[in-house]
Chain A
């Protein structure tokens, strides 16, 4: 089962590396990492998406808390959480495909950023599963580049 974990850390050298390494060294899944400055100056919030049964998740939470400079670890309850992820895509798109592509972008409530005769660049925001779906749909065309931020999340 998928889980989002919110980790608040003091902004110190190597802390993100320790958090990420905890997953790699113990064979835990790490589906996405999203990090940046948190609400307090000098702190960072790291949102990690992972999968595992209850026992594994409980263990992950305890091990995360054991890392020096991690001061709060929260397992986010999906019903009490707002989450979003940003995806940037550049597609090869000739004039003949343009209408169809723009239509699809609109369907996903995306926004065109740049367009020329050969390519279109756009962004889509939403849940990880929405972006997974969108990615599948746009694979019908030639995706030149695709980048995702990982899910950011806060309490409702």
Chain B
């Protein structure tokens, strides 16, 4: 016989997970108590349940493992919703265990009762209310299985507090069988043959690689295939790092704030191989003009994203790594020399705006310069966590990512407040890499309480606040499309961020002079953290290039270089 709480920990252990993120409360007291009986799994207690979900998300993104969140009923559970939705949009595997009120009082509006199944349904891949102890072991196994197979996603398991302390002779099954649940099948040979047939006849092919590369782990195969065939690669925000930015075939990020040449390549392409990506509106802009003259091959594990936005010429349901491994067997050098030269020429003529040589007044640093300094000084060997807004795009454009799973960012949902807690999760994954958390002065205040967690666990995180005294991305839209009417976007009442960090027990420095930027970054990298650096930025910097929402390549604004 085993107790409910023992089974929950056993299930987590069986998945090889050694860190979980949570916050205690009335309906999970038995479960938290169980952690005291063992040493294999560390429970990292954050300061807010939303942060627990983001921390688990960061852990999963950086490690590739499924992650676990444990929170209490009612407000504990509802506080995780933004974190769950963030993970759902970017297909991140996560199991969220929520305490629930006693079985006997479910549905009576009991203290701290919420219909967790109801409120989490739209933002989960699946969810469960455990109604008896005997079904708990099977549900736990299924939850981890569903979260981490196929197109991954968050799964909620809502467990009433009385069931946590009940006993059962049911064991956690070794296998799960869910009728109709589609496992990723190997891609049939003839489909790959058909894909290669199309690719080999193209004269201007481009690979458009998304976050699916992180999930399937096909970065090596991607680069090998591109090198063999001579095909340039553009990545989405979530696909960054799957080809090193410095690679001659890398075109950088595409889309609304993508690089000129990446968008040019998509515009000119006669064939596009879309891998593990979902044709997000920030990538496509105006759908009718997007890839209007190209044949499209789309590979994804989720049949639901193929032909969803854009009709493709060849849709292949399957793993991206599988597709690339099989394509490599066909790959031969293509006659793309002229095409690659054309793109190289474009890169020379249209570089990303760079401010290395520009003079900067004290307190008016260019964000591009700061991000590039981090990139140069780490050589791309870092886990970079960005929040949402201008600094996120500056990071995507100016940090030269080198490895998969090293740019952790909320791509789909665009969740402000993601960076600091996600960096906390990432700090438990790859000790060889420094963790750098970038936030703006807006987003930083959305989960600022997590400075306490960073201090409590003495996490090696370099916390960077990119302070431009405004809500930069929204202000940018107001500047460009709303007649410079800055409704609620000027943040001239922000607190002293360094002072706050010191109150939380952390070392903190404000950086205002251009000449100090590299020095301070080097110092922080040497210490590994925890440390906070606040960079005082030019409040009028805008992110370029930019294709306005719903626009197309010809609408691209390059900005001043």
Of B121, B179, B308, which one neighbours A14 at CB under 8 angstroms? B121
Q: Is the CB of B180 within 8 A of A63?
A: no
In the complex, residue of chain A having the shortest beta-carbon distance to the beta carbon of B302: A66
Q: Is the CB of A68 within 8 A of B122?
A: no
How far is the CB of B81 from the nearest CB of chain A, in Å?
Answer: 15
With a cutoff of 8 Å between Cβ atoms, the chain B residues found around residue A148 in the complex are none
Cβ of A10 under 8 Å from chain B = yes
Q: Is the CB of B303 within 8 A of A65?
A: yes
How far is the CB of A28 from the nearest CB of chain B, in Å?
Answer: 13
Q: Is the CB of B122 within 8 A of A69?
A: no
13 pairs of residues in contact across A and B, judged by CB atoms under 8 Å: A8-B180, A13-B129, A13-B131, A14-B121, A17-B118, A17-B121, A21-B121, A58-B307, A62-B303, A65-B304, A66-B302, A68-B181, A70-B180
Interface residues of A in 56-75 (CB under 8 A from B): 58-59, 62-63, 65-66, 68-72
With a cutoff of 8 Å between Cβ atoms, the chain A residues found around residue B179 in the complex are 10, 69, 71
With a cutoff of 8 Å between Cβ atoms, the chain A residues found around residue B121 in the complex are 14, 17-18, 21
Cβ of A25 under 8 Å from chain B = yes
Q: Is the CB of B129 within 8 A of A68?
A: no
With a cutoff of 8 Å between Cβ atoms, the chain A residues found around residue B242 in the complex are none
Q: Is the CB of B122 within 8 A of A10?
A: no
With a cutoff of 8 Å between Cβ atoms, the chain A residues found around residue B181 in the complex are 68-69, 71
With a cutoff of 8 Å between Cβ atoms, the chain A residues found around residue B131 in the complex are 13
- Majority SS at the chain A contact face: helix
Which of B117, B118, B181 has the most chain A CB atoms inside 10 A of its CB?
B181
Q: Is the CB of B180 within 8 A of A59?
A: no
Can you add 17 more A-B contacts, CB < 8 Å, to A13-B128, A66-B303?
A8-B180, A14-B121, A14-B127, A14-B128, A17-B121, A21-B121, A62-B303, A62-B304, A63-B304, A65-B180, A65-B182, A65-B304, A66-B302, A66-B304, A69-B178, A69-B180, A70-B180
With a cutoff of 8 Å between Cβ atoms, the chain A residues found around residue B146 in the complex are 68
Cβ of B286 under 8 Å from chain A = no
> Chain B 360-400 against A: per-residue CB contact (8 Å), 1 yes, 0 no?
00000000000000000000000000000000000000000
Q: Size of chain B's interface in residues, with CB distance under 8 A?
A: 22
Q: Is the CB of A25 within 8 A of B302?
A: no
How far is the CB of A24 from the nearest CB of chain B, in Å?
Answer: 9
With a cutoff of 8 Å between Cβ atoms, the chain B residues found around residue A62 in the complex are 303-304
With a cutoff of 8 Å between Cβ atoms, the chain A residues found around residue B302 in the complex are 66
Cβ of B403 under 8 Å from chain A = no
How far is the CB of B306 from the nearest CB of chain A, in Å?
Answer: 8
Q: Size of chain A's interface in residues, with CB distance under 8 A?
A: 20
A127 to B303, CA, bound (A): 33
Cβ of B126 under 8 Å from chain A = yes
Cβ of B405 under 8 Å from chain A = no
How far is the CB of B412 from the nearest CB of chain A, in Å?
Answer: 15
A65 to B306, CA, bound (A): 14
Cβ of B61 under 8 Å from chain A = no
Q: Is the CB of B304 within 8 A of A72?
A: no
Q: Is the CB of A25 within 8 A of B122?
A: yes
Q: Is the CB of A59 within 8 A of B308?
A: yes
With a cutoff of 8 Å between Cβ atoms, the chain B residues found around residue A71 in the complex are 179-181
Cβ of B125 under 8 Å from chain A = yes
Contacts A58-B307, A62-B304, A68-B126 given: A14-B180 contact, CB under 8 Å?
Answer: no
Of A59, A63, A68, which one neighbours B125 at CB under 8 angstroms? A68
In the complex, residue of chain B having the shortest beta-carbon distance to the beta carbon of A71: B180
In the complex, residue of chain A having the shortest beta-carbon distance to the beta carbon of B180: A71
How far is the CB of A155 from the nearest CB of chain B, in Å?
Answer: 19
A65 to B127, CA, bound (A): 16
Q: Is the CB of A10 within 8 A of B127?
A: no
With a cutoff of 8 Å between Cβ atoms, the chain A residues found around residue B182 in the complex are 65
How far is the CB of A61 from the nearest CB of chain B, in Å?
Answer: 9
A68 to B152, CA, bound (A): 12
Q: Is the CB of A68 within 8 A of B178?
A: yes
Interface residues of B in 176-203 (CB under 8 A from A): 178-182
How far is the CB of A146 from the nearest CB of chain B, in Å?
Answer: 29
With a cutoff of 8 Å between Cβ atoms, the chain A residues found around residue B308 in the complex are 59
Contacts A62-B303, A63-B304, A65-B303 given: A14-B129 contact, CB under 8 Å?
Answer: yes
> Chain B 120-154 against A: per-residue CB contact (8 Å), 1 yes, 0 no?
01100111110100000000000000100001000
With a cutoff of 8 Å between Cβ atoms, the chain A residues found around residue B303 in the complex are 62, 65-66
In the complex, residue of chain A having the shortest beta-carbon distance to the beta carbon of B306: A62
With a cutoff of 8 Å between Cβ atoms, the chain A residues found around residue B122 in the complex are 21, 25
With a cutoff of 8 Å between Cβ atoms, the chain B residues found around residue A17 in the complex are 118, 121
Q: Is the CB of B180 within 8 A of A10?
A: yes
With a cutoff of 8 Å between Cβ atoms, the chain A residues found around residue B178 in the complex are 10, 68-69
With a cutoff of 8 Å between Cβ atoms, the chain B residues found around residue A18 in the complex are 121
A58 to B181, CA, bound (A): 19
How far is the CB of B558 from the nearest CB of chain A, in Å?
Answer: 35
In the complex, residue of chain B having the shortest beta-carbon distance to the beta carbon of A14: B117
In the complex, residue of chain B having the shortest beta-carbon distance to the beta carbon of A10: B179
How far is the CB of A111 from the nearest CB of chain B, in Å?
Answer: 38
With a cutoff of 8 Å between Cβ atoms, the chain A residues found around residue B304 in the complex are 59, 62-63, 65-66
A10 to B142, CA, bound (A): 14
How far is the CB of A136 from the nearest CB of chain B, in Å?
Answer: 37
With a cutoff of 8 Å between Cβ atoms, the chain B residues found around residue A72 in the complex are 180
With a cutoff of 8 Å between Cβ atoms, the chain A residues found around residue B151 in the complex are 66
Interface residues of A in 33-67 (CB under 8 A from B): 55, 58-59, 62-63, 65-66
A8 to B180, CA, bound (A): 9
A69 to B303, CA, bound (A): 17
With a cutoff of 8 Å between Cβ atoms, the chain B residues found around residue A13 in the complex are 117, 128-129, 131
A72 to B151, CA, bound (A): 19
In the complex, residue of chain B having the shortest beta-carbon distance to the beta carbon of A70: B180
10 smallest CB-CB distances across A and B, nearest first, come from A71-B180, A68-B126, A71-B179, A62-B304, A62-B303, A66-B304, A63-B304, A25-B122, A70-B180, A10-B179
With a cutoff of 8 Å between Cβ atoms, the chain B residues found around residue A65 in the complex are 180, 182, 303-304
With a cutoff of 8 Å between Cβ atoms, the chain B residues found around residue A70 in the complex are 180
How far is the CB of A68 from the nearest CB of chain B, in Å?
Answer: 4
In the complex, residue of chain A having the shortest beta-carbon distance to the beta carbon of B179: A71
With a cutoff of 8 Å between Cβ atoms, the chain B residues found around residue A8 in the complex are 180
In the complex, residue of chain A having the shortest beta-carbon distance to the beta carbon of B311: A55
A58 to B308, CA, bound (A): 9
How far is the CB of B212 from the nearest CB of chain A, in Å?
Answer: 15
How far is the CB of A145 from the nearest CB of chain B, in Å?
Answer: 28
How far is the CB of B114 from the nearest CB of chain A, in Å?
Answer: 15
How far is the CB of B156 from the nearest CB of chain A, in Å?
Answer: 11
How far is the CB of B58 from the nearest CB of chain A, in Å?
Answer: 25
With a cutoff of 8 Å between Cβ atoms, the chain B residues found around residue A14 in the complex are 117, 121, 127-129
